[in-house]
Structure formats: C-alpha cells, structure tokens
A and B are shown apart, each in its own frame.
Chain A
Amino acid sequence: MKSRVLLIIMALVLAGLIAVPWLASYFYIFIFTEILILGLFAASFNLVFGYTGMLSFGHAAFFGVGAYATALVLIHLQWPFLACLLVSTAAGAVLAVGIGFLSVRLNEVYFAMLTLAFGMMVFAIAYQWRSVTHGSDGLAGFTLGDFGLGLKLTLGNPSVYYHVVLAIVAVAAMVLYLICRSSFGLILKAIRQNPERVSFAGLNVRSYRLAAFVIGGAFAGLAGGLMAPFLRVASPELVHWSMSAEPVLMSILGGTGYFLGPFAGAAVFVLLETAITSVTESWMLVLGIILALMVIFFRKGLLGTVLDWWQERNQ
C-alpha cells in the first residue's frame, strides 16, 4: 500500500517537473534546470556520504572537471552533446579513481581533509594552467550543437534544454537508485555503520569504498557536463571548496538517509536562495542560521522530518 502511494507521488512529481515550462513563469525553467543539475550533484555526493559514510570535502573536483571537459570538447571538437556528457562522466570517474585510490584508506576527518586537499589542488591547476583552462576567467563562448543520436533538438532553447536535463537526470537518478537498492548498496550502508564487521565477513571494505567514490565521481562529472552549457562558462569556482560544500548542505537539508533527500535539499536550497536574495543581501547569514537549525534540530533533513511526522500521524 505504502509503495503504491510513493509511486503515485513520484509520478505526480515527474509530471509536474515535465510541465514546469507551461505551469510556471519563464524564469522557473532556469531555476528548475539548476535544481535538477545540483540535485544530481548532491545525490552523487550522498552516495559517498549518506550511504557509505565518507565525508568528502572535494567533491566539486569531479563536478568541475566534468564542466571543463564538456566546455573543452565543445570548443575544440564540437562533438554532439551526448558525446560531451560521456566524456564528462568519464573524466569525473577517472579523476575519482586517482583521488579515491589514495584517499579511501583514511577515516573520517583525515579523509575529509585529504579530499579537501585534492579538490583544492584541482582548483589550483584550473586556476594556474591558463593555456588550457583560461585561468580565472574560465572558458566561455562555447555553444551547443547537436544532441546526438540523430535527434533534432534546439538545445539553445531553455525549455528544450530543461527537458533534456530532466530526462538525463531522471535516468541517472534511476541508475543511482538501482545501485543504492542493490546488494552493493546494502554493503555500502553496512560499511557506514560498522566497517569492521563487514571486513570480518570477508569483504574488502576499501574496494567497496573506492567503487562508491568512483560512481559518485562519475555522476558528479555528468552533472558538471550538464552545468557548463547552462551557465555558458566553465570557471575555477566550480572546483573550489565552497562549491564542494554545496552538495553537503543540500544533502543535510534534504536528508542524507533518503535517496531523494539530496534532490529535495537542492530544491529547497535553490528556491530559498532565489527568494531570499530578492529581499536581502545577507543571504549567507540566513543560510547559516537555517543550516545551524537543521544540524541541531532537524538532523534527518527535510524529508526525514516530514516522513517521521507522517509516520507518527499514521500511528
């Protein structure tokens, strides 16, 4: 019974998202594109954090690398968009293999610090390797050509681009969900709770952590690839630690214990930011207060709190 309700809700949400360009004003197309992309980014992070228990503070490295990859391919090779996204995903995965291999053997705060260090190293490279990345100015002036697969889509139209992003994020989310629900995902959760016990059961904890990290990196790269044409620029801030903080905040806001938590968190974050920056220039202050309240009182996030309340109502 419960899963039927869930399915109906999901279908409604999906229908609503598809209908955004007709239901809401033009501006919301951009808002929801941003929410979807950042939601995917946050979900990729949550695989590593919420499911596997590793707090990575350099996740933006993969996101940024994905953005730069798409930008570079569009500038130099003009491949169709789908091909660019594959390159971005691969770039995120490859970088994650490198960083992950070195990092997953560490625990807790050391892991966080090392991923922070690696993330900032990638930032430093993006910032100083001016001949390739154009340094602090970033790469701009690239345009989308075809989508690929012979589909004729005017990607320059924000509404079309939004639907493309929606389709890709929906598929990616589905894949991620299947991963989380599989036995692989269960092992990750077990590792988060008690790594020693998993190790005693004969499983190589480090390999599983690395696998989760690489998958997280790959999907973050994909999100980055979607972001670059949306912003029309790929710049080093996309790799900075302050960008790495965003999926953390979004996952906490939405609820790290639920698959859709990061997506909900991304929606809340973006909508809140849009609303509050119109009213005050002290958005950071408001964000800080909200985050503090969430961490102290609503640690399970929005979804967690809502679901708990719902369960109580049913009893």
Chain B
Amino acid sequence: MSGIGSALLNSLDIGLLLFIIAVGLNIVFGVLNIINFAHGALYMLGAYLTYTFVNLAGLPFWAALLLAPLAVAALAVIMDRAMLRFIYQRDVADSLLLTFALLLIINESVRLVWGSGIHVVRPPEPLAGSVDLLGSPLPTYSLFVIAVGLLLLAGLWYLFNRTRVGRIMRAAALDRDMAEAVGINTRLVVTGVFAFGAWLAAVGGAVAAPMRALDPGMGDKIIIESFIVVVIGGLGSFPGALLGALILGLIHSFGGRYVPEVNMLLPFLGMALVLLFKPHGLMGKGASA
C-alpha cells in the first residue's frame, strides 16, 4: 500500500505549497473584493528575486526569504497607489481587467530583466537531502514547506482573530463606509491588505524557488491553480484556502497516478462542482458582493 501512502504524502507536500501561494489571493478578495489576476506574476517575481539574491548576490536563503517578499510588497504599494486606487470603488470586473493588465506587464518585464533561460535555486544545506517516511524518501525541504504552511496558517488565524490589525481588516471588509465612520483609515487598510497579499504571494515564490525550475511562464501556470484552490476552499476564507489546496494536491497526486487520461480535466471539474453546489466554497461564508 505504499502507493497510497506516498500519494497522500505527496498531496500534503503539493497542497501546502499551493496553500502558501494561494492564500494571499484569498485574503485580498475577502477584504477588498478584488480578484488579483496578477497574483501569479507576483509569486514569480518573488521566486526570481530569490534567485537573484541567492545565486547572483550570494546571500543565504534565509535572507532572500526575508527580502524578496518585502521587495514585492513594496512594489505592490506602488502598484496600488499608481493604478489600483482608481478602480477600488468599481465592480469586480474592472479589478479583474486591471490586474490582468498588470499580469501582462510584470510577465514581460521579468523576461526582459532576467532573460528566457531556466534557472534553479538550490535549497540551503540543512534543508537539502531527504528523510525516510512511511517507507519512501521524503525530501527534507518538503517538510520545511509543510512547516512553513502550518506556521502561516497559525499566524494568519492569530492575525485576523486576535489582533487589532486583523479586526480593522475585517471591519473594512464588512462595511467600508461604517469603518470610515468610526475613524479607520480605509485607504491605508486597502493599500496594506493589497501589499500583504503580494507579500504572501512572494513568500510562496521564495519558498517554491528551490523546488521548481524558474522560467518566464511560471506565473501563468500558478494563477489558474490558485484560482482553483481559492474557489474550492471559499473566496475570502483562508482556512478554506488550506482545504482547497489539500484537495487540489490530492487531485493532482491521485489523478496523475490512477487516471492520467483525464487528469487535466479533474481540477476544473472539481472547481465547477464546488461552484455549482457550494458557490461560496467549502468553507466560505456569505460573500459581501
């Protein structure tokens, strides 16, 4: 039965990585009602910056893990101030379109700056190699990913439920006018949440970099995956993002092993089924729109 065992472990591995990458998309939608199509591009930027810091600047991986997301968050603040602030009050379609435009811009910019080649980031020494789990070797780095994912989940829960910042974000999400009325600077909240979402995307990129070859198409590959995760789990629910990510991990892992002839179809079928029967996702509360 080691087939099922390793398939399950594999799902956990893929799932947690997807969670880290996709949760930012979820939060941005939940609080701002914006679907950030450029989320995948920000993830890619996080990965490429990690490559630059580690391979080109010779910094340790931990430093890159810290700096790359901050750099991307800073860029997100600029994007917000320069462009997104014009369309926040408009409907969701406009946010889809504008963030799609940003995706095109970031994608091509990455290719212009870093070139078209394939790049590889090596995991840091303590995380390289593998451990034996349930009879099959599991890369140590996968354990790191799982740990980061769970840490993130705990951190986000704490942030939203136990801190003032989290309460403010939730208030702004529920009723922006009311939040303004009680003195919350919603402009700042909006910029902050968007930057936070970008930061999370870039953390996903930095964490993914040692696991995946970098190429200029990696942003596009991940954005649809992220949409699926977020839809299945529930737009606006970050525990839902974890559930969605794990389910997608299971689909990829088992689908690839047992029903390869339809494995491309399955994730989208899953997405469609959830939307048909539970449009707010498996764990979503009612949407604000």
Contact present between A and B (CB < 8 A):
yes
- What residues of chain A have their CB less than 8 Å away from a CB belonging to chain B? 49, 55, 102, 106-110, 112-114, 116-118, 120-121, 124-125, 127-128, 241, 245, 248-249, 252, 282, 284-285, 287-289, 291-292, 295-296, 299
- From B52-60, B118-126, B179-187, B267-275, give the one contacting chain A: B267-275
B96 within 8 A of A: yes
**Contact between A292 and B94 (Cβ–Cβ < 8 Å)?**
no
CA distance A291 to B102 in the complex (A): 9
Shortest 10 CB-CB distances between A and B: which pairs?
A288-B104, A288-B105, A285-B108, A291-B101, A292-B101, A124-B264, A124-B265, A117-B271, A117-B272, A114-B275
**Contact between B227 and A285 (Cβ–Cβ < 8 Å)?**
no
Q: A117-B275, A292-B83 are in contact. Are A128 and B265 (CB under 8 A)?
A: yes
Expressed in whole angstroms, the minimum distance between the Cβ of B101 and any Cβ of chain A is: 4
**Contact between B104 and A287 (Cβ–Cβ < 8 Å)?**
yes
Q: A110-B275, A113-B275 are in contact. Are A120 and B101 (CB under 8 A)?
A: no
Expressed in whole angstroms, the minimum distance between the Cβ of A59 and any Cβ of chain B is: 14
B188 within 8 A of A: no
**Contact between B279 and A110 (Cβ–Cβ < 8 Å)?**
yes
Instruction: List 14 A–B pairs whose Cβ atoms lie within 8 Å, in order of A's numbering.
Output: A108-B93, A109-B287, A109-B289, A112-B92, A112-B93, A121-B268, A128-B265, A284-B107, A288-B108, A289-B105, A291-B104, A292-B83, A292-B105, A295-B87
- CB neighbours (8 Å) of A288 from chain B are 101-105, 108
Expressed in whole angstroms, the minimum distance between the Cβ of A88 and any Cβ of chain B is: 23
- CB neighbours (8 Å) of B105 from chain A are 284-285, 288-289, 292
Q: With A120-B224, A121-B268, A295-B87 given, name 16 new contacts (CB 8 A).
A: A106-B275, A107-B289, A108-B92, A109-B92, A117-B231, A127-B264, A128-B264, A241-B224, A285-B104, A287-B104, A288-B104, A291-B97, A291-B98, A291-B101, A292-B98, A292-B105
The contact of A102 among B92, B268, B276, by CB within 8 Å, is: B276
- CB neighbours (8 Å) of B87 from chain A are 295-296
CA distance A108 to B107 in the complex (A): 27
- CB neighbours (8 Å) of B227 from chain A are 113, 116
Expressed in whole angstroms, the minimum distance between the Cβ of B235 and any Cβ of chain A is: 7
Across the two chains, which residue of chain B brings its CB closest to A128?
B264
What total count of A-B pairs have CB within 8 Å?
107
B109 within 8 A of A: yes
The contact of A121 among B91, B231, B269, by CB within 8 Å, is: B269
Expressed in whole angstroms, the minimum distance between the Cβ of A252 and any Cβ of chain B is: 6
Q: A288-B103, A288-B104 are in contact. Are A106 and B272 (CB under 8 A)?
A: no
- CB neighbours (8 Å) of B261 from chain A are 128
The contact of B86 among A49, A102, A296, by CB within 8 Å, is: A296
CA distance A168 to B11 in the complex (A): 51
CA distance A116 to B94 in the complex (A): 17
Across the two chains, which residue of chain A brings its CB closest to B275?
A114
Across the two chains, which residue of chain A brings its CB closest to B86?
A296
The contact of B279 among A106, A241, A289, by CB within 8 Å, is: A106
- CB neighbours (8 Å) of B279 from chain A are 106, 110, 114
CA distance A128 to B266 in the complex (A): 12
B1 within 8 A of A: no
- CB neighbours (8 Å) of A125 from chain B are 265
Expressed in whole angstroms, the minimum distance between the Cβ of A62 and any Cβ of chain B is: 16
- CB neighbours (8 Å) of B108 from chain A are 282, 284-285, 288
B262 within 8 A of A: yes
**Contact between A114 and B276 (Cβ–Cβ < 8 Å)?**
yes
**Contact between B276 and A112 (Cβ–Cβ < 8 Å)?**
no
B250 within 8 A of A: no
Across the two chains, which residue of chain A brings its CB closest to B90?
A299
**Contact between B101 and A295 (Cβ–Cβ < 8 Å)?**
yes
Expressed in whole angstroms, the minimum distance between the Cβ of B266 and any Cβ of chain A is: 8
Interface centre among A107, A117, A248 (most CB of B within 10 A): A117
CA distance A295 to B97 in the complex (A): 7
**Contact between B268 and A248 (Cβ–Cβ < 8 Å)?**
no
Interface string of B74-91 (1 = CB under 8 A from A): 000000000100110011
CA distance A117 to B96 in the complex (A): 16
The contact of B268 among A49, A124, A249, by CB within 8 Å, is: A124
- CB neighbours (8 Å) of A106 from chain B are 275, 279
Expressed in whole angstroms, the minimum distance between the Cβ of B151 and any Cβ of chain A is: 29
- CB neighbours (8 Å) of A114 from chain B are 271-272, 275-276, 279
B134 within 8 A of A: no
**Contact between B268 and A120 (Cβ–Cβ < 8 Å)?**
yes
B200 within 8 A of A: no
- CB neighbours (8 Å) of B254 from chain A are none
CA distance A287 to B102 in the complex (A): 10
- CB neighbours (8 Å) of A116 from chain B are 227
B100 within 8 A of A: yes
